[in-house]
Amino acid sequence: MRALGNVFERRACAELERAGLKLLDRSYNTRYGELDLVMSDGDIVVFVEVRYRKHALHGTAAESITASKRLKLIKAAELWLAAHPKKSNASCRFDVITFDGQADEARCAWLRNAFET
């Protein structure tokens, strides 16, 4: 399953780079979990969660991001910022890239600023 996750992370990264974002870090591991992609959008640090769902039996890829998952991502992002002092005062946002459907035909959606309420 990890190999398939890497495929979708690479696809997401390519999509974001086509849109002008720049990769800062990939697969950054913390005690709270992994940050799939850390990118810059101009002066903004963007923490990107990549989700894939082959079937919607248990919800879509976007619906798989629970409140507890959001909290873990926020804590992981805080650790990334602490480890990168040059970026520690930058504006930040959380984006989600979702893929739904069969792997070779999965529909991609980019949810910018996904954690804003």
**For residue 74, pLDDT beyond 90:** yes
pLDDT at 55: 63
Fold designation for 2-111: Trna Endonuclease; Chain: A, domain 1 (3.40.1350)
Who contacts 13 (Cβ-Cβ below 8 Å, separation ≥6)? 23, 26, 37, 39
Cα(49)–Cα(65) distance, rounded to whole angstroms? 9
pLDDT at residue 70 tops 70 = yes
More confident residue, 9 or 52: 9
HSE at residue 101, side-chain half, CA atoms within 13 A, is: 6
pLDDT at 102: 79
